[in-house]
Amino acid sequence: MAPEATRRPFPLRARGTVLLALLVAGAWAAWELELSWGDLTPNEGGVRVTKSFFQRALTPALASEASHVPEGTPPLLVLSLQAAWTTLIYAAASMSLALLLGLFLGFFASTAWWAGDPVGGRTRLGRTVAPLVYGATRVLIGLMRSVHEVIWAVLFLAAFGLTPLAAVIAIAIPYGGTLAKIFSEMIDEAPRGAALALRASGSSGLQVFGFGLLPAALPDMLAYSFYRFECALRSSAVLGFFGYATLGREIQQSFSSTNYGEVWTHLYVLMAIVIVFDLWSGKLRARLTA
């Protein structure tokens, strides 16, 4: 009897197959949308605007470039720093609310508290009610993060007007949903040795979660939260295009007036905030996770 033929391994492993599928999907999407490099050819006016804009990148404005400045208007740099401070406040308020939502919903969106887990155990709750709560929470956070914060801002502006709370909630809802999803996955993937030991010693479910599972996932949760705060800074700036007193409003007003030097001043201030926060958060993460 002939020996069984040796099965050759598939040339692409799982990651390679996923990458190939993404490339094929991208090529199909480009064909469906009829994308062409010729679409990027600017007209004469576009070339002039683009050239004027980037020529000011190395010479940002240090004073207002407007032909008429109303009396009592703060200097440009002061105005930019005030808008940056407002941007930072909106981001901090939004992330504080998003973190509360993320931690609360992230717990119920994880399987760590019911699916044969040391927290929930195999009680009647774990067999019946818990899967329903888990499923409903996953659907809720999916809805929260599927709508962009700009869309939420449009809805809340129409409902409540140009109020700070509307802006904060508009950012907090999608960010809270995203944090809940990522937190739940980090909790589920955290090592469970300590949690199993606590459960075996008779600790309650809340104690097992708070002292066994959460500390193991906390470093990754903390690192991701800092990243999302950087995103919240940019989102807060974007909301300025709706009229909020953030850097986005200053950028929009300067750009519409073709004061490109002012635009670059505001952009550099925003970049500086992100860079400074990234350096500070990196040192803080290293200290907390040491």
**What CA–CA distances, in Å, run from 200 to 44, 197, 209?**
74, 5, 13
pLDDT tens figures, 128-137: 777 888 889 9
Number of domains in the chain: 1
CATH of the domain at 91: 1.10.3720.10
In a domain, 12, yes or no: no
Contact in structure between 92 and 230 (CB atoms under 8 Å): no
Tell me the per-residue pLDDT of 226-266, one tens digit each, with 9 for 90 and over. 889 989 999 999 999 998 999 999 999 999 988 999 999 99
Asked if residue 52 belongs to a domain, the reply is: no
How many residues are given for the chain?
A: 290
Inside any domain, residue 185: yes
Confidence of residue 116 (pLDDT cuts 50, 70, 90): low
pLDDT for 1 equals 47
48 in any annotated domain: no
Q: Quickly count: other Cβ atoms within 10 Å of residue 13's Cβ.
A: 10
- Whether 241 is covered by a domain: the verdict is yes
pLDDT value of residue 146: 92
Residue 287 binned pLDDT confidence (cut-offs 50, 70, 90) = confident
Q: What secondary structure, in 3-state letters, does 78-141 show?
A: HHHHHHHHHHHHHHHHHHHHHHHHHHHHHHHCCCCCCCCCCCCCCCHHHHCHHHHHHHHHHHHH
Query: Is 100 a member of any domain?
Result: yes
Residue 11 lies in a domain: no
Tell me the whole-structure pTM to 2 decimals. 0.82
**For residues 113-127, average pLDDT:** 56
Mean pLDDT of the chain: 84
> Position 251: which residue type?
I
Percentage of the chain modeled with pLDDT above 90: 42
Instruction: Give the domain range for residue 212.
Output: 76-288
**Digit-coded pLDDT (tens) for 195-204:** 777 777 777 6
Highest-confidence segment of 15-29, 89-103, 113-127, 193-207:
89-103
Residue with tokens 């119920």: 108
CA atoms of 250 and 265, how far apart (whole Å) = 10
Q: Cα(240)–Cα(256) distance, rounded to whole angstroms?
A: 14
Residue 97 forms part of a structural domain: yes
Residue 6 DSSP label:
P
